[in-house]
Structure 1
Amino acid sequence: MNRWNKFSAETEQRLFTAIDEDDIADEHVSLPDTINLQCTEENIRANYGLCLQYWEDGFTRAELLRLVLKQLRNGGLSKQERMQYKYIRSRYKHLRFALRLYSRKHKAPLWFAKTTVFLGRFQDAFKNKNQEHINFYGKLLRVYLSIPVWMLVRYSLRHIRMESVKDFIAYRQQQMRDLQTLIAKPQLTGREFHDVRKIISQQVSYYDTLRSIDPANHEAQQVSRFLAAINGIMGDKHDDMVADDLAGVKAYSDPAPLDADLRQRLELLLARYPL
């Protein structure tokens, strides 16, 4: 069954707003006493369907390719074009989270996954004015955004087998156990810190989608905002870690303790998450 529900423009806009707020740290939001993990097959299908629609409706292949080619040819996107690129990339990332969460394989199809990675590397390259990487990833993206690849990717995304409710819940619980293992360490390397953030980002994407479909779901709203606060704090910290590494102040691979506030939030999440 490969037909997906069609959602309203208002629902898509709610998702856009939720994702756009995911790096904003709301200091005062808390969690329900116990996070309810239950859902239905309809929830899983609807969530994936909205994420797919959000990706399909948000831009055209030609628009994205034009941005890539412009950056390649004359080395400069305007501020507005950079923002457009950022938002397109965020649609890729949100759909990649959806594929990891809801698909039976818990991973994105290869061509889509690679495109998402290359879009990120290309963005890093033009942000940091790294011409060698701009050329390298730009040329790769020209191939990955060609019509044959685009059609293959679109087809694969519309023919994804969804995970069962039982295994979807088990997958999310395993993510939390992985998080538990990571933060049990007194200090984390840059990569481990990034792994923690990836788990949080994926979880927040689930609740963002859930609350966009059902704005009356107050628990989804609450958990989403709590996770977004963690995401925001970790995003700022990760930027500092990368900057320190580039400046030679502190190597990315050097272990460092988690900030007390961040650790407290992560521990509260684990305490409220049924494992």
Structure 2
Amino acid sequence: MNDATSRQTFSPETLDALFEAVDTDDIVDPVVSLPNPVPMACTSQTMRACLDLCLQFWREGAVRSDMIGLTNTLLQKGDLSGKERVRYKHIRARYKHLRFALVLYGQRHKAPFLFRCTVAVMGHLQDAFRNHQSRTTAAYALLLRVLLSWPVWLAVQREMETVKMDSEQGFLTFRQAEFQRLAEWLESGTLTAHRFHTIRKIISRQVSFYDTMRTLAPNEQLYRMSRFLSAINGLMGSMHDELVEQAGRGQRDYRRDDVLMPMNIRSRLDELIAQFG
């Protein structure tokens, strides 16, 4: 990644606009339509600006001391207050948004190991305390506390400096391959909860891209892409929460039992795939 002296920095207003976009990236807008054609172009300069914005968004909003405080509360009480849950959600959203950016724009299309582990543990921890699983909450809270320790935190900062940007063509090829995988999975006719979640991650990555793009260069096409994808993301997110709860109660095997894709999600996915194809 470009070094700290050459990174772009963005105004508080730009960061606030990105926060607003990210905070509504699972809100279902029933009337928004997909632009035709979908905006696909992205220069290497824009890719770098997107990644710089996502990195600043994470560093300025995912405050380590806040996260440690929330983790300590979970270790002591096993749950968070309503206000604390909102703070946890917002910090996790910044982590997730940067993870999507690292996967999208990085040459390896994979977030660095320690950062990736931190985001995963935060997600498992949230599922655990939401579903009142006290032992699982304690275990993941303890693991997150280790990942937030000073040596690991410094290592995560260093990981950010090792990320190499992909080319314009590599970025486009990666996105096209993701939608090809999505089409193949839907055509197979069988989905597990785990595969359903993997499909949602593809959509979430695209939401994050268009959220960042419309923050940097607001226009109607980018806004419509963002809102169309957000509708899919929101519908899939609500359903996935139910699948996780069912798995937690022993009502389904998360990785084995089939899941029926609802038509209100499937029709939107089919429309999206047709445009990307």
Question: When the two structures are superposed, what TM-score results if normalisation uses the length of structure 1?
Answer: 0.94
The one of 95, 100, 112 equivalent to 1:109 is 112
Amino acid corresponding to residue 118 of structure 1 in structure 2:
V
User: How is 1:113-128 mapped onto 2 (pairs within 5 angstroms)?
Assistant: 113-128=116-131
Match of 1:231 in 2: 233
1:261 Cα deviation from its structure 2 partner:
2.3
1:166 Cα deviation from its structure 2 partner:
0.6
* Residue 142 (1) aligns with residue 148 (2): no
Amino acid corresponding to residue 154 of structure 2 in structure 1:
M
Amino acid corresponding to residue 166 of structure 1 in structure 2:
Q
1:170 Cα deviation from its structure 2 partner:
0.3
1:6 Cα deviation from its structure 2 partner:
0.4
Counterpart Cα distance in 2 of 1:63 and 1:19 = 20
> Which segments of 5 or more consecutive residues in structure 2 lack a partner in the other structure?
none
Q: Contact 1:32/1:272 (CA < 8 Å) preserved in 2?
A: no
Counterpart Cα distance in 2 of 1:130 and 1:243 = 11
Q: Deviations over 1:131-164 (max 9, x none)?
A: 2222222221222111111111112214421111
Question: Alpha carbons of 1:260 and 1:74: their partners in 2 closer, same or farther (altered >3 Å)?
Answer: closer
Give the aligned CA root-mean-square deviation in angstroms: 1.6
Match of 2:99 in 1: 96
Question: Alpha carbons of 1:256 and 1:73: their partners in 2 closer, same or farther (altered >3 Å)?
Answer: closer
Match of 1:198 in 2: 201
1:95 Cα deviation from its structure 2 partner:
0.6
Amino acid corresponding to residue 224 of structure 2 in structure 1:
Q
Amino acid corresponding to residue 54 of structure 1 in structure 2:
F
Q: Deviations over 1:60-96 (max 9, x none)?
A: 2111111101211233422111110111011111111
Q: Contact 2:51/2:105 (CA < 8 Å) preserved in 1?
A: yes
The secondary structure found in structure 2 opposite 1:188 is coil
State the number of aligned residues: 273
Counterpart Cα distance in 1 of 2:42 and 2:248 = 44
The one of 150, 154, 162 equivalent to 1:151 is 154
* Residue 24 (1) aligns with residue 31 (2): no
Amino acid corresponding to residue 258 of structure 2 in structure 1:
P
Q: Contact 2:39/2:222 (CA < 8 Å) preserved in 1?
A: no
Question: When the two structures are superposed, what TM-score results if normalisation uses the length of structure 2?
Answer: 0.93
The one of 55, 63, 74 equivalent to 1:52 is 55
Match of 2:187 in 1: 184
1:250 Cα deviation from its structure 2 partner:
4.7
Amino acid corresponding to residue 165 of structure 2 in structure 1:
M
Q: Contact 1:122/1:137 (CA < 8 Å) preserved in 2?
A: yes
Counterpart Cα distance in 2 of 1:239 and 1:135 = 20
Amino acid corresponding to residue 203 of structure 1 in structure 2:
Q
The secondary structure found in structure 1 opposite 2:10 is coil
> Which segments of 5 or more consecutive residues in structure 1 lack a partner in the other structure?
none
Counterpart Cα distance in 2 of 1:75 and 1:251 = 25
